[in-house]
Amino acid sequence: MEFTVSRCDVIPSRLTARLQLGVNCPARTPTSVQELLTQQLRMPADYVRDRIETLFLDGMVVDDPQVSIVEDGSTLGLSAAMPGLVGATLRKGGYYAPMRSQINWTAHSGGQLPPKAPPGNVRVRLYNLILRERAPALLARGVMLTRDELLDLLPVGTCDVPHPPNGELIMVRIVDSVT
């Protein structure tokens, strides 16, 4: 089931909160973080390299997007560079990586946190500048939301939201304008 809504019909603060909490994105898995971001989510490679300074895969810090593997149901957090010593420590491949070695993503660390996304999806969380810059494209591509999550984004009574069978997720596209 699909649903398209104009960005101006969405409550901005609710959308910001939803993107921080995470949205489910259909994805082919397993795959590398790099492939997911650049090929499936269509982010430019230089953007992933230079702008997304901090990545979390299932709560573990990613140092190398090329070798970090996204599984079905994984959660991926994306952030720009962070301030402070700890912020620098959490950067991918940073000089200060030794300071947080216990929470580095490794091939054996996947699945330490319970998966959040349903099969066939990866849960993507957008933070700070990445949220501002990548949300429009991600939302236009479409994200999977529960009906309650979708209703939370909309002013009461403004849209006729469909009822998917068996509580299935809805493919929601949020676009600049609905033609």
Partner 1 sequence: MDGDRILRIDMSAPGGPTVTQEPLGDLAGLGGRAMTSLIVTAEVDPLCHPLGPGNKLVFAPGMLTGSSASTSGRISVGCKSPLTGGIKEANAGGQAGQHLARLGIRAMIVEGQPEGDDLWTVVINQDGEVSFKVDNSLRMQGTYATVAKLTEDYGPKATFMVIGQAGEMMLGGASIAACDRELRPTRHMGRGGVGAVMGSKKIKAFVIDAVKGPSRQPAQPERFKEASRLFNEGLKRHGVSGEGLPTFGTNILTNILNEAGGYPTRNFSSGHFEEATQISGETQAETMIARDGSATHACHRGCIIQCSGIYNDKEGNYVSKQAEYETVWSHGGHCGISDLDVIQQLDRMDDDFGLDTIETGVAIGVAMEGGLLPFGDGPGAVKVLEEVGKGTPLGRIIGSGAVVTGKAFGVRRVPVVKGQAIPAYDPRAVQGIGVTYATTPMGADHTAGYTITANILGVGGQVDPLHTEGQIELSRNLQIATAVIDSTGLCLFVAFPVLDQPETFAAMLEVVNGFFGTDLTPEDVTELGKKILSVEREFNAKAGFTAADDRLPEFFRTEPIAPHDVTFDVKDEELDAVFNW
Give the interface segment with partner 1, choosing from 27-35, 41-49, 83-91, 139-147 (CB under 8 A). Answer: 83-91
- 38 vs 79, beta carbon nearer partner 1: 79
Going from the C-alpha of 19 to that of each of 64, 76, 97, the distances in angstroms are 24, 12, 27
Q: At what angle do helices 12-21 and 128-141 cross, to 10 degrees?
A: 100
Given a contact cutoff of 8 angstroms between Cβ atoms, the answer to whether 125 and 74 are in contact is no
Stretch that binds partner 1, among 35-43, 121-129, 138-146, 156-164 (CB under 8 A): 121-129
The DSSP line for 119-148 is: TTEEEEEE-HHHHHHHHHHHHHH-EEE-HH
Q: Which CB sits closer to partner 1, 3 or 94?
A: 94
Question: Cβ closer to partner 1: 5 or 131?
Answer: 131
Rounded to a whole number of angstroms, the minimum distance from the CB of residue 109 to partner 1 is 9
State yes or no: residue 101 binds partner 1 (CB under 8 A): yes
Separation of first and last alpha carbons in the chain = 19
Find the shortest distance in angstroms from Cβ 75 to partner 1.
9
Number of residues binding to partner 1, judged by CB under 8 A: 43
